[in-house]
């Protein structure tokens, strides 16, 4: 575990460097703070924050020189005592240009603000769309234009938006700050225009410099596009804090919270509880004791459907319902006074039935749901099929998918196949979803996929008259597994925003607490309706 945590720390520290030390030096020579310095200055001192989308674009766009952290930093943190989403462009990465993953990450930030009804602050310093990849970021539904659509939707929902123009703000990107409730600009470095001086000259023949065209003086004194100008980044960020300080409060959802109690075990105790070998068993109850408030667990149907653990609890004082895969091998009683050995991490009919009922209970009682995934999938075979595993699984997916209370997901270990879906994977709208360094996500395990893909390739070659020797099979299997295992990595998932980041497991409790606090700002909870339930 320590090796995995060291790797996480190294990769995180590298992200802080953005486009590299030389790019940071040039950036600061202009009198500008870096993306992270702006966030650190803006956030309240000695208060926790949660990074969203860490490792986005990790290992991607290599042919374009890479795009660390997708060229933008996003955090959920406190500004003047208010929980806000902060989006800070990193101009040391390709001048803050938007790659496809940059767009996806910005949309995720807006989604979090919209779901939770919390303010969003944009610290703009971007050259706009990365032109060599414009076809992958410009025209589609979830591309660049969706940002401005969301600006309008956020405004109509009454969710505050503040923009600080702290560098370039070009073309379509100019609409983002101007569609915000407040648009501030830094003198000398901030500029906003639909077309820069070079394009203006080539288009209409007018010769003009960028500062006169769209600088702070022009937009604060002549056009009225921006509200106020500030001499430097710090004073602009101070103004944002002053504005947020004046916001009124709206009705909350009133999720239950009591005085927090420390967990029974210290958070880092889970490093010893969780085996790195994904095939080894462990007791999920023991792991949860490092996260939940001491003596707060009230387990549901403890002796039934034992491969899924369902329990009410409190985390940092917040009431929660936990649905977690139990990784111990368990004995299940069956009709006729018989018993069945059930494999840990597998969802059986009885555990799916129990989880569905528990999820429905939590929705009726307005209790947020937390999912801890270490799942290899649903049980297969004739006995399970005849027992109706598909309809029981469908019932669980239905109950979870239609959930109206906030959901939060943590991928502890395996996250395979339909098990990912049933345990609230990304496709099922968790408010936040994070992976631990021990996580692996795919349709099936590397070993199972390797053997399946080998059989397919072997059959294809046989059809062409080629027979593989045992040595050839071994070599091909190793090649297939190596490629597949790379895609199992939590960093592969984080790069594509299938998860909101890879975290030290000790951070889990804080993320849940801040996530529920954010969700509590949205008082709108729809009526729970699961539609047709398979019985």
Q: How far apart are CA 375 and CA 329, in angstroms?
A: 13
Q: How far apart are CA 375 and CA 299, in angstroms?
A: 20
**Which candidate, 326, 247, 245, places its Cα nearest to that of 282?**
326
* pLDDT digit string, tens, across residues 415-427: 998 899 999 999 9
Q: Is pLDDT at 277 greater than 80 in this prediction?
A: yes
In this structure, the number of other CB atoms found within 10 A of the CB of residue 524 comes to 9
- Predicted pLDDT at 24: 95
* pLDDT digit string, tens, across residues 301-321: 999 999 999 999 999 999 999
Distant-in-sequence contacts of 380-385, Cβ < 8 A, 24+ apart? 384/348, 384/349
Q: Is pLDDT at 102 greater than 80 in this prediction?
A: yes
E strand or H helix at 175: helix 175-178
Confidence of residue 533 (pLDDT cuts 50, 70, 90): confident
**Which candidate, 178, 188, 296, places its Cα nearest to that of 233?**
188
* pLDDT digit string, tens, across residues 334-379: 887 788 889 889 999 999 999 999 999 999 999 999 999 999 988 8
What residue ranges in 50-111 does DSSP mark as E strands? 50-52, 72-79, 82-89
- Predicted pLDDT at 207: 83
Q: Which residue segments constitute the domains of the chain, with CATH numbers given? A: 18-245 (3.90.226.10), 267-439+499-521 (3.90.226.10), 444-488 (no CATH)
Sign of the Cα pseudo-torsion (347, 274, 14, 445, in order): negative
Sign of the Cα pseudo-torsion (27, 28, 32, 34, in order): positive
Question: 367 and 320 in contact (C-beta within 8 Å)?
Answer: yes
User: Over pLDDT 70: what percentage of the chain?
Assistant: 99
Q: How far apart are CA 289 and CA 269, in angstroms?
A: 9
**Which candidate, 414, 421, 412, 399, places its Cα nearest to that of 321?**
399
Confidence of residue 172 (pLDDT cuts 50, 70, 90): low
* pLDDT digit string, tens, across residues 40-92: 999 999 999 999 999 999 999 999 999 999 999 999 999 999 999 999 999 99
* pLDDT digit string, tens, across residues 245-276: 999 988 999 999 999 999 999 999 999 999 98
**Which candidate, 384, 312, 373, places its Cα nearest to that of 342?**
384
Q: Is pLDDT at 382 greater than 80 in this prediction?
A: no
* pLDDT digit string, tens, across residues 173-213: 777 888 999 999 999 999 888 777 777 788 888 888 778 88
pTM: 0.93
Q: How far apart are CA 406 and CA 59, in angstroms?
A: 32
Q: How many residues make up the chain in this entry? A: 535
**Which candidate, 352, 217, 268, places its Cα nearest to that of 2?**
268
Of 2-11, 120-129, 141-150, 451-460, the range with the lowest mean pLDDT is: 451-460
Q: Is pLDDT at 449 greater than 80 in this prediction?
A: no
Q: What is the mean pLDDT of residues 526-532?
A: 88
**Which candidate, 507, 517, 343, 327, places its Cα nearest to that of 435?**
507
Of 64-73, 375-384, 394-403, the range with the lowest mean pLDDT is: 375-384
DSSP category for residue 222: I
- Predicted pLDDT at 377: 86
Q: Is pLDDT at 112 greater than 80 in this prediction?
A: yes
For 96, 335, 504, the CA distances from 31, given in Å and listed in that order, are: 17, 75, 34
- Predicted pLDDT at 312: 98
Confidence of residue 29 (pLDDT cuts 50, 70, 90): very high
Of 238-247, 395-404, 470-479, the range with the lowest mean pLDDT is: 470-479
């Amino acid at each position: 575990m320590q090796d995995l945590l060291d790797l996480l720390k190294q990769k995180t520290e590298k992200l802080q460097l953005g486009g590299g030390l030389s790019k940071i030096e040039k950036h600061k020579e202009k009198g500008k703070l870096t993306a992270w310095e702006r966030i650190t200055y803006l956030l309240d001192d000695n208060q926790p924050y949660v990074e969203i989308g860490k490792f986005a674009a990790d290992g991607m766009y290599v042919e374009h020189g890479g795009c660390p952290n997708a060229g933008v930093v996003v955090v959920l943190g406190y500004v003047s005592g208010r929980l806000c989403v902060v989006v800070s462009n990193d101009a040391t990465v390709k001048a803050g240009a938007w790659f496809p993953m940059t767009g996806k990450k910005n949309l995720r930030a807006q989604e979090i603000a919209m779901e939770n009804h919390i303010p969003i602050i944009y610290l703009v310093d971007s050259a706009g769309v990365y032109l060599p990849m414009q076809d992958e970021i410009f025209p589609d539904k979830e591309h660049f234009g969706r940002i401005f659509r969301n600006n309008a939707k956020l405004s109509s929902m009454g969710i505050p938006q503040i923009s600080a123009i702290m560098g370039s703000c070009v073309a379509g990107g100019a609409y983002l700050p101007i569609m915000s409730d407040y648009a501030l600009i830094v003198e000398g470095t901030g500029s906003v225009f639909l077309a820069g001086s070079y394009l203006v000259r080539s288009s209409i023949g007018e010769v003009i410099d960028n500062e006169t065209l769209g600088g702070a003086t022009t937009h604060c004194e002549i056009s009225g596009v921006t509200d106020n100008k500030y001499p430097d980044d710090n004073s602009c960020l101070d103004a944002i804090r002053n504005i947020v300080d004046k916001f009124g409060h709206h009705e909350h959802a009133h999720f239950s919270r009591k005085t927090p109690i420390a967990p029974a075990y210290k958070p880092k105790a889970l490093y010893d509880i969780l085996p790195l070998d994904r095939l080894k068993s462990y007791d999920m109850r023991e792991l949860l004791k490092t996260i939940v408030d001491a003596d707060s667990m009230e387990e549901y149907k403890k002796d039934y459907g034992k491969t899924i653990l369902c329990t009410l609890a409190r985390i940092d004082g917040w009431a929660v319902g936990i649905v977690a895969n139990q990784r111990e091998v368990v004995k299940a009683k069956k009709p006729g006074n018989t018993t069945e050995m059930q494999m840990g991490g597998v969802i059986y009919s009885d555990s799916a039935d129990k989880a569905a009922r528990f999820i429905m209970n939590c929705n009726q009682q307005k209790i947020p749901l937390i999912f801890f995934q270490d799942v290899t999938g649903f049980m297969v075979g004739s006995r399970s099929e005849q027992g109706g595993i598909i309809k029981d699984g469908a019932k669980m997916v239905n109950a979870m998918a239609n959930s109206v209370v906030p959901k939060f997901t943590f991928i502890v270990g395996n996250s395979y196949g339909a098990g990912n879906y049933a345990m609230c994977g990304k496709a099922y709208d968790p408010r936040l979803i994070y992976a631990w360094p021990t996580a692996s996500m795919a349709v099936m395990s590397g070993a199972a996929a390797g053997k399946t893909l080998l059989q397919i390739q072997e059959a294809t070659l046989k059809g062409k008259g080629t027979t593989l020797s045992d040595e050839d099979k071994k070599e091909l299997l190793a090649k297939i597994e190596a490629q597949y295992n790379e895609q199992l990595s939590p960093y592969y998932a984080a790069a594509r925003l299938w998860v909101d980041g890879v975290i030290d497991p000790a951070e889990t409790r804080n993320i849940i607490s801040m996530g529920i606090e954010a969700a509590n700002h949205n008082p709108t909870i729809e009526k729970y309706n699961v539609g047709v339930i398979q019985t």
